[in-house]
Amino acid sequence: MIKTKNLLFILPSIFSCTFAFSSPCSFDKTKSCQLVTDILQDKASNGLNYYASTNYDHRISGEINVYDTSKTIKNADGTLTLLADLANGLWKSGEIMTRANLNSPPFNSPVPSEVWTTKETKHGYMEVNINLPVCTKSTDGLCQQGKNPSNYNQGLWPAIWMMPTYDSNWPQNGEIDIMEAYLKTTAFNVTTATLHFNGNAPQCGGGDCRGIGYPLESHQFPQLAYANPHTWGFEWEADPSSTKGGYILTGYIDNVKTWGPLKTDSLPADGANALQRGFNDPNGGYYLIVNLAVGGPYAGAPNPQMQSATMHVNSVKFYQVGGTTPTDLCNPPIDFSSTYTPDKKNVTLLWHPPANSTNVVTYQVKDWQKRVLWKDNKLTWTDTTLPGTSGKFTYFLSSVCSNGVSQDVEYDVIIPDAPQCLPPTNINANYSSDKKSINLAWTAPTQSMPVSTYQVRDWLKRVIWQGSLTNWTDHSLPGTSGKFTYFLNSVCNNQDSTMVQKDVIIN
């Protein structure tokens, strides 16, 4: 298809051309979908592709690979193969982006490309069909023979994700992870989805919305996820009930809804503002990335046997969506907390009503097998059936509204065997008049394991100080105004506590 600002033309055959027509959406037959851009196959009116591969060194995120355009192979049918290869101790792998200025540093693509972002439409759907990566070469030859066990794929980190046009101050305008796979704590049949934005809230992993993120529903396949190709879909729509430019987001796998619809206005911490800024940036919305990373905090170290891996990108398509609009949503409860009795036989759950939801009639709590345990209109419930032992106890909570039932939200209660290693509290900050130093002071945590030292980390969570004192001064500031982010944690007998974010604003 040839794309101009407002019109479609039939141009000479050096450009690909797709005739636009609407049909029922594969993921929802009540909606109509019109294919607008086949990202891998179409060319813009200027003859450029809608994507480009990169020579991008992004090891700052923790992955151990660098991206190399030679590791993105365009096949005769227009599909792509992303490679990951180990040579001379360095992993190189492939990725594609639809971002602006990919032929400039730090991305360094050898060719220019056309830009694609969600700004193309207020109601769109992006679908990406891929074969998740597998080890294709190992030191013992098992990968070459296709006889390797699944853990030979350990350390691969495939992802389909979106970043905002203004992406230099991550994650000020949010990050949307449509699919990540091979999480080091899961089997190879699980994929996850996550949002990242600034701030802390209990709904985020470890309370950390920035680093660990706001988890969306994970998906478990009945077999190894790389056994067959799968399609990940992402739908976005301007929220007609929002007064501040919010959006409604929904995720799909193989045309089946796996999470959402989620109103961005309901996100905790800075989530609502971040997504609003990202989608409504006048310079462009979110651009797409499909990549094969290696290592990093998500996937962990690669299996020492693995030498090469291959991932196939079969199609990337963008649709304009029309039809039913989910204006009246039943949203789940929010802001969960819990307490347990000293004998570990009772857990009390507490929550708050959802924001931007239709009228909630009752709430319901389910057990780890999603069997309903309780249903009422109260905002608290006590489970009196616990065995009196330590462990993780999983509950699923949802709202029952006048127009339906919300999605389930998982809440885990951890009853520890012994006191946990807790982070410092009451963190205060002062800065010098010349703006060249910041003094951080804190209080030792109560009800914690004995704390041996504290750690202060920079905005990339790299340790910049460790000691037993309850204060520290950063003398490395540039002497200018701005926001300076630190993360603090305790160290108890070689065990790190969770990190607490402290932002210092110098005016």
- Give 311-339 pLDDT, tens digit per residue: 999 999 999 998 654 456 788 898 888 98
pLDDT of residue 328: 63
Q: What is the CA radius of gyration of the chain?
A: 24
Q: What is the DSSP string of 243-288?
A: SS--EEEEEEETTEEEEEEEEGGG-TTTHHHHHHHHHH-TT--EEE
Which fold, 22-323?
Answer: Jelly Rolls (2.60.120)
The HSE-up count of residue 286 (CA atoms within 13 Å, CB side) is 32
Residues sharing a CB contact under 8 Å with residue 450, sequence separation 6 or more, in sequence order: 492, 493
pLDDT of residue 126: 97
Q: How confident is the model at residue 368 (pLDDT cuts 50, 70, 90)?
A: confident
pLDDT of residue 452: 94
Burial category of 85 from C-beta neighbours within 10 Å (exposed 0-12, middle 13-18, buried 19 and up): buried
Burial category of 67 from C-beta neighbours within 10 Å (exposed 0-12, middle 13-18, buried 19 and up): buried
pLDDT of residue 22: 67
pLDDT of residue 323: 65
User: Is CATH 2.60.40.10 the classification given to domain 425-506?
Assistant: yes
Q: How far is CA 193 from CA 116, 251, 498, in A?
A: 21, 9, 22
Q: Residue 105: is the preceding peptide bond cis (ω within 30°)? A: no
Name the residue with higher pLDDT: 18 or 372: 372
Q: How far is 268 from 336, CA to CA, in rounded Å? A: 12
User: Is CATH 2.60.40.10 the classification given to domain 334-415?
Assistant: yes
pLDDT of residue 20: 47
Structure tokens at 38: 């086949």
pLDDT of residue 263: 95
pLDDT of residue 61: 82
Domain boundaries, the chain: 22-323, 334-415, 425-506
Mean pLDDT of 394-401: 91
- Give 67-107 pLDDT, tens digit per residue: 999 999 999 999 999 999 999 999 999 999 999 999 999 99
pLDDT of residue 4: 32
Burial category of 352 from C-beta neighbours within 10 Å (exposed 0-12, middle 13-18, buried 19 and up): exposed
| 130-144, 264-278, 357-371, 430-444, range with the lowest pLDDT | 357-371
Percent of the chain residues topping a pLDDT of 70: 94
- Give 189-235 pLDDT, tens digit per residue: 999 999 999 999 999 999 999 999 999 988 999 999 999 999 999 99
Mean pLDDT of 122-127: 95
Name the residue with higher pLDDT: 506 or 290: 290
Q: How far is 394 from 412, CA to CA, in rounded Å? A: 5
- Coil, strand, or helix at residue 3? coil
pLDDT of residue 6: 34
pLDDT of residue 324: 53
DSSP 43: B
Percent of the chain residues topping a pLDDT of 90: 74
- Torsion of the alpha carbons at 279, 281, 282 and 287, rounded to the nearest 10: -60
pLDDT of residue 359: 87
DSSP 479: S
pLDDT of residue 167: 86
Mean pLDDT of 276-284: 94
Q: In whole numbers, what is the pLDDT of the chain averaged over residues? A: 90
3-state secondary structure 13-25: CCCCCCCCCEEEE
Same fold, 334-415 and 425-506: yes
| Residues β-bridged to residue 237 | 123, 248
Q: How far is 443 from 407, CA to CA, in rounded Å? A: 39
Strand bridging mode 391-401 / 404-405: antiparallel
Q: Which of 210, 142, 207, 215 is nearest to 183 (CA)?
A: 215
